Amino acid sequence: MKKTLSFLLISILVSAECLEYPTDIEVGVCYEKEGNLILAQAAYERALIADEEDASARQKLMALYHKMGMNSEADQLNKKLSAKERTSLAAVQGSGEIKNNTFRARAELDIGYDNNIDFNPVADTTLTQGGDTAETAFSRLQADMSYLYDIGELAGWYLRTDADIFIQENFSAHDYDVFFGRVYAGAGYRGINYSLYLPLFYDRINYLDRALMQERGIHPNLDLQLHQSLILNLNLLYSQRRYIQDYDQGRDDNMYSAGAGLFWLKGGNLLYFKTGYELYKATHQVPIAFTEKQVFSASIGALYAFGNIIDLRADYQLRYYYYALISTSDGNIQRGDTNHEFTVALEKEFFNDFRAQLQYRNVNNISNYALAAYKKDELLFGVIYNY
């Protein structure tokens, strides 16, 4: 008992000595040398509240976060997330691994089978209505890259660029081959437990045996770390979608979107819930039917690691499409679609940064417009590489 009281008294006296330093940074350094990391964190945070541009306080706080293991969730999930997701996660958690130049990449090569290739992952359901369904085997390449440059002279500010690519070659039904590419570029700011990123983007789709569409817009994202294992994402999007061929230009529209997501990370596991709203407004004087619409979406998913044996990923997305009223010779049509998409995958690391996956996806689009109703099943096997 006497030893315990003596230890407490010494701790109080040493902590009191730290408070004699003139600045919060010096107080934090003193606490950190003592091993009192909680009080050191509080001191560094006070310094940043007083001056958000204090680069020294920011660097010491981020190094302390890393020392306290507050980024262990990101470290364990690194091999299971896309390059963009890893960069965003590291930014909001103030990871010590973000330095002046940080490059991440992920590539996935798949081979699979689709029993209704008419409706593709990047296709608009208004483009391929009716007709017989086509089934085919396919090969698919998906890749994304993320580069972040931390501007040392401007504490907290960074430049960032991201790129996505999706290429699918079908063994038959080549009209439904797909190329999709998107590039983001913008600036961001990292504060204590939050990150704001303001990118512009451009993308292009080749589909249905033609250069189909190009899109440009802005996509602000705010990530907030509510708890060591809980992250909230808020995002907005505005884009101009323009079809390239003259006979498609009646589909031109502007899209407005708002979304939110909640992500729980623990060890190598992930649980998320996302919801969003999209509004499509036609820009052509004579828009093609079903161009204008509203889309409400909600999705939930989980990634669970069974030790070092295998990872199970499951995702479900519900989307409701509410289309503008269309007048025809047969009367008015008020179309509404309800789209269910379920994906389940097994993943296993087999060599360093290489992972194998087996994935099944089921989509069911229920519509009061008969030509838009469809079902599809997709099965694929792939290899994933993370850098």
Q: Does residue 95 register a pLDDT over 50?
A: no
Q: What average pLDDT does range 53-63 have in this prediction? A: 72
Q: Does residue 182 register a pLDDT over 60?
A: yes
The predicted pLDDT at position 8 comes to: 41
Q: Does residue 114 register a pLDDT over 80?
A: yes
The predicted pLDDT at position 10 comes to: 45
The predicted pLDDT at position 12 comes to: 47
Q: What average pLDDT does range 309-321 have in this prediction? A: 95
The predicted pLDDT at position 3 comes to: 45
More confident residue, 153 or 323: 323
- 211-247 pLDDT, tens digit per residue, is 999 999 999 999 998 987 899 999 999 999 999 999 8
Question: Which of the four pLDDT bands, split at 50, 70 and 90, describes residue 122?
Answer: low
Q: Does residue 97 register a pLDDT over 80?
A: no
Question: Which of the four pLDDT bands, split at 50, 70 and 90, describes residue 70?
Answer: low
Provide the 10 A C-beta neighbour count for residue 318: 15
Q: Does residue 361 register a pLDDT over 60?
A: yes
Question: Which of the four pLDDT bands, split at 50, 70 and 90, describes residue 21?
Answer: confident
Q: Does residue 20 register a pLDDT over 50?
A: yes
More confident residue, 126 or 198: 198
The predicted pLDDT at position 378 comes to: 96
Q: Which of 16-20, 119-123, 295-299 has the highest mean pLDDT?
A: 295-299
Q: What architecture does CATH give domain 2-68? A: Alpha Horseshoe (1.25)
Contacts 24+ apart (CB under 8 A), 119-124: 119/363, 119/365, 119/374, 119/376, 120/168, 120/176, 120/178, 120/207, 121/166, 121/178, 122/166, 122/178, 122/180, 122/205, 122/207, 123/178, 123/207, 124/251
CA 74 to CA 104: how far, in whole Å?
Answer: 14
Q: Does residue 339 register a pLDDT over 70?
A: yes
Please list the residue range(s) of the chain that carry CATH number 2.40.160.40: 80-386
| 56 contact partners, CB below 8 Å, separation of at least 6 | 25
Please list the residue range(s) of the chain that carry CATH number 1.25.40: 2-68
The overall pTM is greater than 0.85: no
The predicted pLDDT at position 117 comes to: 86
The predicted pLDDT at position 327 comes to: 75
Question: Which of the four pLDDT bands, split at 50, 70 and 90, describes residue 31?
Answer: confident
Q: Does residue 380 register a pLDDT over 80?
A: yes
Q: What average pLDDT does range 258-264 have in this prediction? A: 96
Q: Does residue 252 register a pLDDT over 50?
A: yes
The predicted pLDDT at position 61 comes to: 74
The predicted pLDDT at position 208 comes to: 87
Burial tier of 33 (Cβ tally within 10 Å: 0-12, 13-18, 19+): exposed
Question: Which of the four pLDDT bands, split at 50, 70 and 90, describes residue 77?
Answer: low
More confident residue, 127 or 111: 111
Question: Which of the four pLDDT bands, split at 50, 70 and 90, describes residue 7?
Answer: very low
Fold of 80-386: Porin (2.40.160)
Q: What average pLDDT does range 149-172 have in this prediction? A: 89
> In this structure, what token pair is assigned to residue 165?
């690519």
Amino acid sitting at position 97: E
Residue with tokens 């310094």: 47
Q: Does residue 9 register a pLDDT over 50?
A: no
Give me the chain's average pLDDT, please: 84
The predicted pLDDT at position 163 comes to: 97
CA 327 to CA 316: how far, in whole Å?
Answer: 34
CA 229 to CA 76: how far, in whole Å?
Answer: 12
Q: What average pLDDT does range 296-307 have in this prediction? A: 94
Q: What average pLDDT does range 178-203 have in this prediction? A: 93
The predicted pLDDT at position 47 comes to: 84
Q: Is the dihedral of CA 153, 154, 156, 162 positive or negative?
A: negative
